[in-house]
Every structure is written in structure tokens, then in C-alpha cells.
Structure 1
Amino acid sequence: MQNYEMMLIFTPVLADDEFKAAQKKFTSFIKENGGEIVHENAWGLKSLAYPIQKKTTGLYFVVEFTAPTDLNAKMEIQLNRDESVMRHMVTHLDKFAVAYNNRKRNAPAKAEVKEETVS
């Protein structure tokens, strides 16, 4: 089992329930093919760095998962078939990236800085 992180950019014309259904579609696909979801994060609507298909915004979704290596080829086919996916990127995570993601995810909220008043 290898560790991966996948970022998907969906078309911004999806309704909220369609966006959630698309997220569930790909997380379910990972689980059905022997993978395990570690963490998922829906970023929502963000501006794109450059226009894609004449759109300047997209719905971002990031999922971290562990899966066998043959899953990537199967998922690539599904991602290319889905018209709601504008862009996708799957990244293999080494042990340092996995440790960093765990620390970042489990870090306590930043302590509030108290302002000192000068008398």
C-alpha cells in the first residue's frame, strides 16, 4: 500500500449537493478498489491561476489515501471520463510528507496573541 494525495478541481457550475456527490463518487471508488481514505478536505470555490475551459474559478477537493499502485491507472480512466472534473493531480507521498500532513492535521489551533497595552 502506497500513500497518495489527490487534488481535484471540479467545474464551478456544480450545485452543492452535486459537488458532495462527486466527492463521494471518487472516495467510494478508492474504497471499492482496496484503498483507504486517510483524510479529505473540500476547499470549496477558489480562483484559478489561469482560465480552464473559459472558467476562472473551480471547486477544489483534496483527499489523502492509501492504495495499491494499480488503483492509479483505474482512477485515471474514471477522472478523464467525468466531465465535471476540470483538472486532477495524484501525488505519491513519501514518509516525510505523510508525517508532515499528520502534524499539520493534528496541530492544536494557534494560540491567540494577547496584545499588551502600553501605559
Structure 2
Amino acid sequence: MNKYEIMYIINPECKDIKALQEKMHNILKQTEKVESVTDWGLRDLAYPINHKNKAYYTILKVTVNKEAISEFMRVAKIEQDIYRHLIINLDTEQNYSDKMIADLKLNTNENDERPSHYNGERRQRPYVPRETYKKPENK
């Protein structure tokens, strides 16, 4: 059993959003448990999907097996009112994110959040008089 975080985006013009959410949640409830359900509600999209600028967001945290995840993906691809879905395995991603945080801490100063190679000064271009850019005149 692995822990997953699932986000899916539903068409705001869907006839029954709650019924669609229950359908998707029941796929996961059949095998194991749904730890939390977060309804973000109607939000703006970063870019239009199917000529729509808003969609209904739902986030789930579950502990299930791979068969339930593959079934969820299959139904999400078939269902026309689900625009996008994203499934993250928290067990494998936790190790990756811990490693990335450790690498970032190595490259930062203790008093500053910026990387250690940053000294706070912007590079200035050297001043070159305009005369040096003039083209030579042809005689």
C-alpha cells in the first residue's frame, strides 16, 4: 500500500459535480481508505481548457494499492467532465523532496535565503563612450 495525493479538475458546467466526485471517491474507497478530501471549489485555470477559464478542483489523500490507482486513472480518462488529473506517490516523492531540500541548504548562507554565490551586487556594464560605436566613413 502506498500513499497518494490525487488532484482532479472537473468541468464547471457538469450537471452534477457532487455525483461525479462520489463516483471517483467510491473507486478508491472499495479497496482501502481515503484519508482526506479537500474541495478547492471553482478556481481560475492557468490556461483555457476546452474554451473554459474556470474549473472545479478536488484533492484527495489516500492509501491504496496500484490496482485502485490504475482503475481511477482509467475512469478519469473516460469521464468527459474531468479535464485533468494528477496522481503523486507521496512515498517516493517524500524521499526526492527531502534530498532536494538538503541540497538547497548546502547552497545557501546561514543568514540569507539566496544561494552562496550571490553577493548582493548587480553586475554593471562598463561605460563605453558612444564615439567608439561609430562606423568608419568610406571615402
TM range (shorter): 0.7 to 0.9
Q: Does 1:2 align with 2:2?
A: yes
Q: Does 1:38 align with 2:35?
A: yes
Q: 4+ runs of 1 displaced by more than 3 Å?
A: none
**Residues 59 and 94 (structure 1), Cα distance of their counterparts in 2 relative to 1, 3 Å cut:** same
User: Which of 24, 27, 33 matches 2:25?
Assistant: 27
Residue type of the partner of 1:52?
I
Q: How does 1:92-107 map to 2 (within 5 A)?
A: 92-94=89-91
Superimposed CA distance per residue, residues 7-27 of structure 1 (whole angstroms, 9 cap, x where no aligned partner): 010001125xx1111111111
Q: Which runs of 5+ in 2 are unaligned?
A: 95-139
Q: TM-score, normalised by structure 1?
A: 0.73
Looking at both structures, which has the greater relative contact order when contacts are Cα pairs under 8 Å and sequence separation is at least 6? 1
Q: Does 1:62 align with 2:30?
A: no
Instruction: Give the SS at the match of 1:72.
Output: helix
| Count of residue pairs the alignment pairs up | 94
Instruction: Give the SS at the match of 1:70.
Output: helix
Q: TM-score, normalised by structure 2?
A: 0.63
Q: Which runs of 5+ in 1 are unaligned?
A: 98-119
Counterpart-to-counterpart distance in 1, 2:84 and 2:32 = 22
Instruction: Give the SS at the match of 2:18.
Output: helix
Counterpart-to-counterpart distance in 2, 1:79 and 1:95 = 23
The structure that is strand-richer by fraction is: 1
Alignment partner, residue 100 of structure 1:
none
Q: Does 1:73 align with 2:70?
A: yes
What fraction of aligned residue pairs are identical, expressed as a percent? 28
Alignment partner, residue 14 of structure 1:
14
**Residues 95 and 38 (structure 1), Cα distance of their counterparts in 2 relative to 1, 3 Å cut:** farther
